[in-house]
Structure 1
Amino acid sequence: MGSTQSKGQTKRAPVQARALQPRINLPELPPYQGYPIQYHHIIINATLDVQAHFSFMAPNMSIQATNVEQYYPQLAAMYDQGYKMLVFVSLPGSTKNYGLASLGQSQMTIKFQGIFRKLLPEEMGQQWELRVEKSTLINQMFMQWSGNLFLNSGSHTGSMTDNNHIFQTLNNISQNGGRLISVELTGMAGQQMEMQRQMMQGHAQRQLWSTGTMPMMQVAVDVFYEIPRQPSSERYVYQVVSCPMQSTFQYSFPHGQFHSVINWEAILTQYLGTGWKLVEIFEDYSVSSMTQMSGFSSNITQNKNCLWIFEKPASRLNDNTPYYEGTMVEHWFKTKTELHGMGFGGASVNVTTDWEPVIEHFGKIGWQVVRILETPDSRIEGAFNPTIHTRQMIFFQRLIAGKSDVAGASSSQPQPQPEATGDPAPPPSYNELYAEK
Structure 2
Amino acid sequence: MGGFLRKHSTPDQPVQQKIDLPQLSSYQGHPIEYYQTSVNAELDIQSHFSFMAPTVTIQATNEEQYFPELAAIQDQGYKMLAFVSFPGSIRKFGFTSGRKGVVITKFQGIFRKLLPDEKDQKWDLRVVKSTLVNHMFTQWSGNIFLNAGSQSGGVSDSYHIFQTLQTIAEEGGRLISVELTGMSEEQIDIQKQYMDRHAKMSHVTTERIPEMQVAVDVFFEIPCQPLSERYVYQVVSCPLESTYQHTFPHGHFSSVIDWQSLISQYLETGWKLVEILEDYSVSYLTQMSGFRPNGTQTNNCLWISEKPLSRLNDNTQYYEGTMVEHWVTLHSHVHRLESEGATVVEATDWEPITEHFGKKGWQVVRILNTPDTRLEGTFQQTTYVKQMIFFQRRVVNKQQITETTQTTSRETT
TM bucket normalised to smaller: 0.7 to 0.9
For residue 359 of structure 2, the aligned residue among 348, 357, 364 is 364
Instruction: Specify the alignment match of 1:281 in structure 2.
Output: 276
Q: Cα distance, 1:339 vs. partner?
A: 8.2
Instruction: Specify the alignment match of 1:6 in structure 2.
Output: none
Q: Cα distance, 1:130 vs. partner?
A: 0.2
Q: 1:326 to 1:130 in 2, by over 3 A?
A: same
Could you say what secondary structure the match of 2:30 adopts? coil
Instruction: Specify the alignment match of 2:155 in structure 1.
Output: 160
For residue 26 of structure 1, the aligned residue among 14, 21, 30 is 21
Instruction: Specify the alignment match of 2:36 in structure 1.
Output: 41
Aligned counterparts of 1:168 and 1:327: Cα–Cα separation in 2: 29
For residue 259 of structure 2, the aligned residue among 261, 264, 275 is 264
Instruction: Specify the alignment match of 1:80 in structure 2.
Output: 75
Question: Could you report, residue by residue, the CA deviation over 1:233-262 in whole angstroms, capped at 9, with x for unpaired residues?
Answer: 111000000000110001012211111110
Instruction: Specify the alignment match of 2:11 in structure 1.
Output: none
Work out whether residues 90 and 111 of structure 1, in 8 Å CA contact, stay in contact via their aligned partners in 2: yes
Q: 1:69 to 1:24 in 2, by over 3 A?
A: closer
1:217 aligns with 2:198: no
For residue 426 of structure 1, the aligned residue among 395, 402, 407 is 407
Q: 1:301 to 1:102 in 2, by over 3 A?
A: farther
Question: Could you report, residue by residue, the CA deviation over 1:172-213 in whole angstroms, capped at 9, with x for unpaired residues?
Answer: 000000000000000147x969x98xx8xxxxxx99969611
Could you say what secondary structure the match of 1:356 adopts? helix
Instruction: Specify the alignment match of 2:236 in structure 1.
Output: 241
Aligned counterparts of 1:208 and 1:231: Cα–Cα separation in 2: 61
Instruction: Specify the alignment match of 2:137 in structure 1.
Output: 142
1:301 aligns with 2:296: yes
Query: CA RMSD, aligned part only?
Result: 3.2
For residue 62 of structure 1, the aligned residue among 57, 61, 66 is 57
Aligned counterparts of 2:138 and 2:31: Cα–Cα separation in 1: 49
Q: Cα distance, 1:355 vs. partner?
A: 1.2
Q: Cα distance, 1:295 vs. partner?
A: 3.0
In the alignment, structure 2 segments of 5+ residues that lack a partner are: 1-16, 195-200
Task: Please give the TM-score of this superposition, normalised by the length of structure 2.
Answer: 0.85
Instruction: Specify the alignment match of 1:13 in structure 2.
Output: none
1:294 alignment partner AA: S
Work out whether residues 92 and 341 of structure 2, in 8 Å CA contact, stay in contact via their aligned partners in 1: no
RCO (CA 8 Å, sep 6+): is it higher in 1 or 2?
1
Aligned counterparts of 1:61 and 1:102: Cα–Cα separation in 2: 28
Work out whether residues 91 and 344 of structure 2, in 8 Å CA contact, stay in contact via their aligned partners in 1: no
Aligned counterparts of 1:192 and 1:270: Cα–Cα separation in 2: 35
Q: Cα distance, 1:347 vs. partner?
A: 7.6
Could you say what secondary structure the match of 1:232 adopts? coil
Aligned counterparts of 2:303 and 2:396: Cα–Cα separation in 1: 24
Q: 1:145 to 1:260 in 2, by over 3 A?
A: same
Instruction: Specify the alignment match of 2:7 in structure 1.
Output: none
Question: Could you report, residue by residue, the CA deviation over 1:291-313 in whole angstroms, capped at 9, with x for unpaired residues?
Answer: 10133201111111000000000
Deviates more, 1:84-93 or 1:42-51: 42-51
Q: 1:389 to 1:312 in 2, by over 3 A?
A: same
Work out whether residues 138 and 208 of structure 2, in 8 Å CA contact, stay in contact via their aligned partners in 1: yes
Question: Could you report, residue by residue, the CA deviation over 1:348-385 in whole angstroms, capped at 9, with x for unpaired residues?
Answer: 64321111110111000000000000111122233342
1:179 aligns with 2:174: yes
Q: Cα distance, 1:387 vs. partner?
A: 2.3
Instruction: Specify the alignment match of 1:376 in structure 2.
Output: 371
Aligned counterparts of 1:426 and 1:260: Cα–Cα separation in 2: 22
Instruction: Specify the alignment match of 2:46 in structure 1.
Output: 51
For residue 112 of structure 1, the aligned residue among 104, 107, 112 is 107
2:235 alignment partner AA: V
Structure 1 residues 379-418: aligned runs within 5 Å: 379-401=374-396
Q: 1:272 to 1:105 in 2, by over 3 A?
A: same
Work out whether residues 91 and 353 of structure 1, in 8 Å CA contact, stay in contact via their aligned partners in 2: yes
Work out whether residues 207 and 214 of structure 1, in 8 Å CA contact, stay in contact via their aligned partners in 2: no
In the alignment, structure 1 segments of 5+ residues that lack a partner are: 1-21, 200-205, 404-416, 433-437
Identity of aligned residues (%): 62
Q: Cα distance, 1:166 vs. partner?
A: 0.3
1:74 alignment partner AA: E
Aligned counterparts of 1:284 and 1:156: Cα–Cα separation in 2: 18
1:395 alignment partner AA: F
Q: 1:347 to 1:311 in 2, by over 3 A?
A: closer
Work out whether residues 138 and 206 of structure 2, in 8 Å CA contact, stay in contact via their aligned partners in 1: no
Task: Please give the TM-score of this superposition, normalised by the length of structure 1.
Answer: 0.81
Instruction: Specify the alignment match of 2:13 in structure 1.
Output: none
Instruction: Specify the alignment match of 1:335 in structure 2.
Output: 330
Could you say what secondary structure the match of 1:149 adopts? coil
Could you say what secondary structure the match of 1:223 adopts? strand
Could you say what secondary structure the match of 2:235 adopts? strand
Q: 1:402 to 1:390 in 2, by over 3 A?
A: same
1:97 aligns with 2:92: yes
Aligned counterparts of 2:169 and 2:162: Cα–Cα separation in 1: 11
Q: Cα distance, 1:338 vs. partner?
A: 6.1
Q: 1:28 to 1:253 in 2, by over 3 A?
A: closer
Question: Could you report, residue by residue, the CA deviation over 1:382-401 in whole angstroms, capped at 9, with x for unpaired residues?
Answer: 33423222111000000001
Work out whether residues 328 and 385 of structure 2, in 8 Å CA contact, stay in contact via their aligned partners in 1: yes
Work out whether residues 329 and 429 of structure 1, in 8 Å CA contact, stay in contact via their aligned partners in 2: no
